[in-house]
Structure 1
Amino acid sequence: MTLSLLTWNVKTGGSGGRLDGIVALLTRERPDIVALQELRDFQRHDRRRMREVADALGMAGFLAPSVFGQPVGVLVRPPLTIAGRSAVRWRLHHAAAAVTVPTAAGPLTVVSTHLNPFRPYRRLREARWLAHRYRGPLTVITGDLNSLDPHTAHTERLARLPELYRRRHLGADGRPDTRAIASFAEAGFVDLWRSAGTGDGLTVPTTRGGGHEFSNAGMRLDYLLARPELAARARTARVVRGDEAEWASDHYPLRVELDL
């Protein structure tokens, strides 16, 4: 079977009339599993908004609330089922939602998370903790990691950012900080964009969705990171652009196809 996985930071839960566009794009893309971040207000009124979005898409959902930031979640399309679920709240600025889905290749674990947007060292600590916690052979950690990859030259792009936002991506030595993504690689995770991606891979900002903190720099902040056994099954990875993707959020969705 081929399984499609899409991750998307939907910017404050699709507030300001954007939620309909988010649902429309996901309906058209029809991924088997969706990892979402910045689900503001999705936990209110007994998680009513999460249920409404899941029902509109014909999927089962799991939401992880956040103590300090915004919730994250995972949606799974039948006939796939959620056999296990867990939420991480206290160790992360935002949260992590992990689900286990039975597949013909074995149990697949999908972790939707959103790392600290402000401080590189705290992102590094979060990344190390997640990489240690989730180590099953068919595991993918995905979401808005707010991090720069260690294989790209970032100095020129960062120079376009206002100083307030540029500091979020600089280490104590003033150089671009790439330690969070490097720590995942050191733990054995594979960046699926680098192994199976097409195009430039930039996920922020969108053309009409805001994102002043990204200015006109163009950055890759959203990732699909998989254990080697799962990474070997990745066929294509792409950034979803056009139509609602241009205005429904300040991040573009990122999608991968897995041969399971």
Structure 2
Amino acid sequence: MRAMTYNIRNGGWDGADPGRLDLVLQVVNEQRPDVLAVQELRGLRRDRRRLDMLARRLGMRAYLAGGWFGQPVAVLVRAPAEARVVAPVRRPLHHGAQRVVLDTDRGPLTVLSTHLHPYSGRRRLREAGWLVGAAGRGGPDRRPLPDRLVLLMGDLNSLDPESRHEERVGRLPPAYRGRHLMPDGVTVDTRTVAALYRAGFVDLFRPDPSERGEPPKTVPTSGGGGVEFTDMRLDYLLGTPPLARLADRPRVVTGGVAETASDHYPLVVECDLRLR
């Protein structure tokens, strides 16, 4: 199974570049994921025909979840596979989170697509707690969260606790710097990702928690804008330990149309399981 997460920026279109959604679809079709987590689906909650068109062009089924204030997110699954359970996280997330359970040859797999609060570390931390609760709740698998097959993908708007971020945060314009600092205005805020680690999730780019070094860059792309970013990772592929043991070759998709399709690069990982 190939899984992919992609923040496509404002639904893949805007007044300045109405054809950008075609570039987004090209990027996705080149990777041909079996499961796709998408963020920033502006306008698609009300325009179901446009969502159906997007899913049809990808050969996938779409499961959309809206947020309270921001933009919808979705999980798309390659046909003919379909979700056994569809259960959006019904909490007041700024953007939203979709949860689906898929049948695989290794048992039920829970997939979460999310986009956490862009402006407040405290709100992101609260939203992460809601995700943990949703990941370990109900469905056909009654085991504790760390023993389940769970894949959490999306734009967490958060920095990881293993890396040094002071320099890159210091290069941000002052208007955006506070998004990644604690209330003291100095300490880099890594609480959200750290909380997900404590709950049992593993960074699929760093399966060894003691690993150090530069994180993979997911923003900004070279031609997609993004003045609020400075060569940082905000997008993640996280899995519980049983899923992490099946994961291989995580990568950031760069080059070609991925440089202009969005301000985020997509992430892809291969998992040694098959959808049913």
Q: Counterpart of 1:134? A: 135
**1:10–1:39: 8 Å Cα contact kept in structure 2?**
yes
Separation in structure 1 between the aligned mates of residue 89 and residue 247 of structure 2, nearest angstrom = 27
Pairs within 5 Å for 1:232-247: 232-247=245-260
CA deviations over 1:184-236 (Å, ceiling 9, x no partner): 01101101111299x9510000000011111xx20000001111111111111
- Equivalent of residue 250 in structure 1, options 237, 256, 263: 263
- Equivalent of residue 191 in structure 2, options 173, 179, 187: 179
Q: Counterpart of 2:206? A: 194
RMSD (Å) for aligned C-alpha atoms: 1.5
Q: Counterpart of 1:12? A: 10
Q: Counterpart of 1:98? A: 99
SS in 2 for 1:195: coil
SS in 1 for 2:194: helix
Separation in structure 2 between the aligned mates of residue 66 and residue 49 of structure 1, nearest angstrom = 18
**2:163–2:215: 8 Å Cα contact kept in structure 1?**
no
Offset of 1:37 from its aligned partner?
A: 0.1
**1:84–1:101: 8 Å Cα contact kept in structure 2?**
yes
- TM-score, normalised by the number of residues in structure 1: 0.94
Q: Counterpart of 1:40? A: 42
Separation in structure 2 between the aligned mates of residue 246 and residue 89 of structure 1, nearest angstrom = 34
- TM-score, normalised by the number of residues in structure 2: 0.89
**2:35 partner amino acid:** I
Find out whether 1:162 has 2:173 as its counterpart. yes
Count of matched residue positions in the alignment of Structure 1 and Structure 2: 254
Find out whether 1:53 has 2:66 as its counterpart. no
**1:42–1:71: 8 Å Cα contact kept in structure 2?**
yes
Offset of 1:89 from its aligned partner?
A: 4.7
**2:5 partner amino acid:** T
Offset of 1:34 from its aligned partner?
A: 0.5
Give percent identity, aligned residues only. 52
